[in-house]
Structure 1
Amino acid sequence: MSIGRRAPLAVLLALAMLLSGCAGIPTGGAVGTIGIGSDDDGDELLTLAEGPQPGDSPAQLLNGFLIAQRAPQQNYSVARDFLASELRAKWSPTARVLISDGPIVVQSDDEDAAGDGLDVTVDVGAVVDSTGVYTELAHPETQNLSYEFEQNADGEWRISRAPAGVVVPGARFTSTFGAYPLYFFDPSWRGVVPDVRWFPNTASRADRIVKELLAGPSPWYGQGVLATAFPSDTKLDPGVTVSSGTATVALTGDAGNQDGDARWRMQEQLRLSLSALSDIVSIEVTVGGFPLDAGSGQTVESIYRVNDEPLGLDEQGFGYLTSSTINPVPGISTAVQSLGAVGGTLARDGARAAVRSDRGVWFVAADAEPALVDTRGGLLDPSIDRDGFVWSAVAADADSIRAIDAAGGVHELAAPHLDGELVSLDVSRDGTRVLLATRGPSGPALTVAGIIRDASGVPIGFGDPLQLTIGPSPIVDAAWVDSSTVATLTQAGDGAQVDLYRIGGRHDALGSLASGVQLVGGNFADGIRVRAADGTVWRRNSSGGWQSTGIVVSFLATQQ
């Protein structure tokens, strides 16, 4: 026997009674948690759920199925028990994850319909796709999910039709899923960049991490923005096994025939990507059943730390600042002061800088005289990448971005995806992406665009942009916090608000200040500094609020 598309009133009333007077699926339920990982350290939890009970009505069955979707272990084996035999093997829970922004509601458009089925309405606040990419929506979007039922040979109801994917309450998401960075190289092979994905917290996470690593980076890191050492035919077969802290990664394909540098890079990508799992401390790689001799290679940068002290210009000069001291940057500080700088960025090597003054943008090197490289009016504070290219743009023209080499050569970069005027422009410390804050007719926008370079490393364009979801408040400034996180400073009434956005992840509000006109990143969220209108520099305190550092500057400089 089967159930059609709509439920009669009796079924809806039964469901209402089941849900204690409302049609919302509870965020609690017959679930529990246990630790996962071979060491069972309890740091990571996995949800347990009950299967269908004898005599369950379709409404009770659906309720149990939705709750069981929070228990992803063994490929959602408990949730599959709610399905009819034909659907059980076909249902794809990893096709997508709908993260609800409110109650999960069961409804019927036609209470008098002859057929008996149930529809579920979900206000979706975020989505995870089949590759683990997380997308936060600007506004919750309502989705209707239809379920049909049939009775099995024992007369028990089972779900015969269900949408692919799972629905997870927002409050439960981070206990069911975890953020796992996959690491890819920059095109020069000098450093790696995290591409954050979200996978269910199960014992098979290592398999999922490696499979998606082999599949390549997210779309916005394509077109050569990031690189992988793995040949395109490399597959995981049969999987990853973990014993006594060592993960053995079994691969097939042409990986074993690559040169020593490529083999070492493949191992580094695997090692770094699997390092997020607490039960893995080392890795071994096999190809076609034979150990892969990875050898050794040059250490690559994966955590791009900067000086813990803020960099800026105060009445004593330009350098790293505390409330009572200043440490000048050798070969740079004197030049910055002499130019009458009003903004700037220090390169990663500490020996080069891009500086803005009333005359324009300058390239400053410790071993040479400052060079005026952009004299256009209305320029933003410039950025500088790890290869020494100065990035400059006119605030009023979003299509005015230039990368200027050390010899003064100008490389124009079209940005047709931008709308309105630029607020800030910041190249990531790894040199692979640019963060662009804009304001236009449709409101503020925050965009991350991959940098496409030619074989010589010269920037020639941007990859597919990733627009982060931000609120409607006017944006004042934006900055990189680390390789996968950015921050914004926005107007909030008479004050300012700081927010943290994870590329491929969730966003957090970091609180408000009475005033804020500039923001710079540091080492993770605790390193963020905000300059108020009076020059006072503020930092977060241990309680999550903001406190004065005792430093007063005319501007803060970005550290690369």
Structure 2
Amino acid sequence: MLRPGTLAARRPADAGRGRRTARRVAAAVAALVAVAPAALAGCSSIPTSGDVRLGEGGVVDEGEIVNLPYGPRDGADPHDVVEGFLTAAQAGPNNPQQFTTAKEFLFGDQAAAWDPTATVAVYEGDILVEADAVDENATVATVHATVSVAATLDAHGFYTEEAVPVPVETEFGLVREAGGQWRISALDDGMFILDALFATSFRETRLYFPTTDHRFWVPDQRWFPRNGWRTEAVREVLAGPPAWLQGAAVGTVPDGTALDVSAVPVNEETGRAEVRLTAPFAQMETADRALFAAQLSATLADGRATQPVTLYADSVEQPVPDEPAPRAVRTEGEPLVLLDGVLHTVTDRRLVPFERDVTWDGVADPTALAAGPAATPIVVRDGTSRIVRLTDGGGVVTTGANLVAPSVDRFGTVWTSGEPGTLQAVDPDGTVHVVTADWLSGRAVTGLRVSPEGARIAIVSVGPTGPQIDVAGVVRGVDGVPGLGGPVRVARTVPDAREVQWSGSTSLLVLTWDVTGRSAIWSVGVGGLSTSTGRSRELSGVAGPQQLAAGVNDLGIYAINEAGTLVVRQVSGQWARIQDGVRLVAFQG
């Protein structure tokens, strides 16, 4: 379907090719969609109270949904063969037989050569299938399929949204076999999947890689075919961190280590995932083997705390010592709120005066608040030209023109913007690092937020192409000096982005403002959001949001609306009022 790493031929259908009347692949795919609600049987009631957390709930597998496609029909014409193939391919990712039925539509060696997941295009609407006219004696034929692609998965399961749905066309060559049946003899690798089928066909999976100091896990969101997802997840863990996280996270196994058996089953008797690896794994140091086992246990957890694993090298079970594992990503501490010039924390939805002394050091116009873990330090932006420390002795952290709202990482480093194309990172001892990256060149930063484990940073910037949101690895040298790795672009569908917050281990909240002054809140995923389609979505219910506070925890999402009222989002999706007259809000960490 799609050539690996590309979107094949991006062009609308050409009406002047002498094709027969086009038909849309709709009814057969709709039948596949109709299987999905069966998974809802036996679900518990939907909660209607309590705070909401976004982006973390999609990893629990509520039973398997199996789509059963039809194979080729005798006497089917080229159009119907391609239509049947497209429908059968969409059933492959969560079918025990995988793509066996889809391959029945292929001719000769194509059944073995076709790689269905080299590129996966998530489309909306219908597939328009058009066949060039052929006479009854023809032995070859050409069929074209056009879809509106909203997102893609690459060969490693990383999800990327399109800014707007893109019309994509692909071409199929067919031959008539000796028995008179049409089969597909030429096609591109990859497949199409209807957006309504996406989350029932591909499983949201977080890979975990340790930070360079082995203290925390760095989550990396992927989507794998539901049938065999554990195998794909282990393969990607063995491959090490993706390019954008290299230097911020590390791999755990020696080069050349691979799966010895192309399956990762869970033993029904022991409940342990069995991972059989090649010989290099046996050469690992004991502590490294324990780290790798913990990495697989976290990655394969399937909604549980961990998944026990048994490791083999050359069919020999390898002992795994009980060693402390890195910690999961989490924002520690309650939200901080500025009300009537006094700092408070939000405790049980009530404002409680902050228990420690703070020093305002001449702050005249507090416009943004940030704090490190355990509220050390707490800093405030004064106007837009300086950042001041409120705790730990006070003092000016840094100054500059149009500084963005600061973020404090787990090392106590305060991050803000600098000149166009640069960031400032100020260490606890006051050392200012100017952080640059080629991909930020010529762009003005309007918002940033470091993730709780300190290995990733989300950045909103504006340049000639308008606002965009990137997430990059934070790379620290042996001297601790921070730098940026390569970025991944996220939230392409979100317009007019201005500020950003981490709201889950792999999800963000984005505050937007358009030219009319309308502001809004969007939830987006780094590698796809935990929704049925994986795409970003706008959160309604707050009139003119002015500030956001979110974290990787269970304390909720907070916003200050245009009237200065602090509200928190509940599980029901409604926003509950906490306090009027609030000026600033921020999570610690």
1:12 corresponding residue in structure 2? 20
Q: How does 1:327-406 map onto structure 2 within 5 Å?
A: 327-331=352-356, 333-335=357-359, 341-357=366-382, 360-363=386-389, 365=391, 368-394=392-418, 397-406=419-428
Confirm or deny that 1:61 pairs with 2:81: yes
Confirm or deny that 1:99 pairs with 2:99: no
CA distance in 2, matches of 1:228, 1:205: 20
* Superposition deviation, residue 220 in structure 1: 1.4
* Superposition deviation, residue 108 in structure 1: 5.2
Q: Secondary structure at the match of 1:263?
A: helix
1:52 to 60, 72, 83: 72
Residues 482-503 of structure 1: CA distance to partner in whole angstroms, max 9, x if unpaired? 2211111113656422111110
Aligned residues: 537
CA distance in 1, matches of 2:194, 2:449: 35
Point out the more displaced range, 371-380 or 408-417. Answer: 371-380
2:264 corresponding residue in structure 1? 240
Q: Secondary structure at the match of 2:373?
A: coil
2:244 corresponding residue in structure 1? 220
Q: Secondary structure at the match of 2:87?
A: helix
2:560 to 515, 531, 537: 531
Q: Secondary structure at the match of 2:249?
A: coil
* Superposition deviation, residue 429 in structure 1: 0.8
TM-score, length-scaled by structure 1: 0.87
Q: Specify every segment of 5 or more residues in structure 2 that has no aligned partner in the other structure, as ranges.
A: 1-13, 40-60, 529-534
1:408 corresponding residue in structure 2? 430
Confirm or deny that 1:521 pairs with 2:550: yes
CA gap of 1:443–1:112, structure 2 versus 1, over 3 A, is farther
CA distance in 1, matches of 2:588, 2:67: 42
Confirm or deny that 1:207 pairs with 2:220: no
CA distance in 2, matches of 1:93, 1:531: 46
CA distance in 1, matches of 2:84, 2:524: 34
**Paired letter, 1:519:** L
Contact persistence 2:389–2:395 (CA under 8 A): yes
CA distance in 1, matches of 2:32, 2:458: 44
CA distance in 2, matches of 1:56, 1:155: 10
* Superposition deviation, residue 111 in structure 1: 8.4
* Superposition deviation, residue 550 in structure 1: 2.8
CA gap of 1:376–1:503, structure 2 versus 1, over 3 A, is same
1:500 corresponding residue in structure 2? 523
Q: Specify every segment of 5 or more residues in structure 1 that has no aligned partner in the other structure, as ranges.
A: 1-5
2:491 corresponding residue in structure 1? 469
CA distance in 1, matches of 2:305, 2:371: 39
CA distance in 2, matches of 1:248, 1:43: 21
2:289 corresponding residue in structure 1? 263
**Paired letter, 2:436:** A
Q: CA RMSD in A?
A: 3.2
Contact persistence 1:495–1:512 (CA under 8 A): no
Residues 116-161 of structure 1: CA distance to partner in whole angstroms, max 9, x if unpaired? 3111112211111111111111122222211122233432222111
TM-score, length-scaled by structure 2: 0.83
1:27 corresponding residue in structure 2? 29
CA distance in 2, matches of 1:454, 1:327: 40
Confirm or deny that 1:540 pairs with 2:569: yes
2:481 corresponding residue in structure 1? 458
* Superposition deviation, residue 10 in structure 1: 10
1:162 to 187, 208, 211: 187
The structure showing larger relative contact order (alpha-carbon pairs under 8 Å, at least 6 residues apart) is 2
1:275 to 296, 301, 308: 301
Confirm or deny that 1:553 pairs with 2:582: yes
* Superposition deviation, residue 205 in structure 1: 1.6
Task: Name the one with the larger strand percent.
Answer: 1
Q: Secondary structure at the match of 1:237?
A: coil
CA gap of 1:257–1:364, structure 2 versus 1, over 3 A, is farther
CA distance in 2, matches of 1:486, 1:342: 21
Point out the more displaced range, 312-321 or 522-531. Answer: 522-531
Question: Share of identical aligned residues, percent?
Answer: 29
**Paired letter, 1:262:** D
Contact persistence 2:132–2:143 (CA under 8 A): no
CA distance in 2, matches of 1:58, 1:11: 12
Contact persistence 2:79–2:130 (CA under 8 A): no
CA distance in 1, matches of 2:426, 2:564: 30
CA distance in 2, matches of 1:289, 1:512: 56
* Superposition deviation, residue 352 in structure 1: 2.3
CA distance in 1, matches of 2:553, 2:132: 49
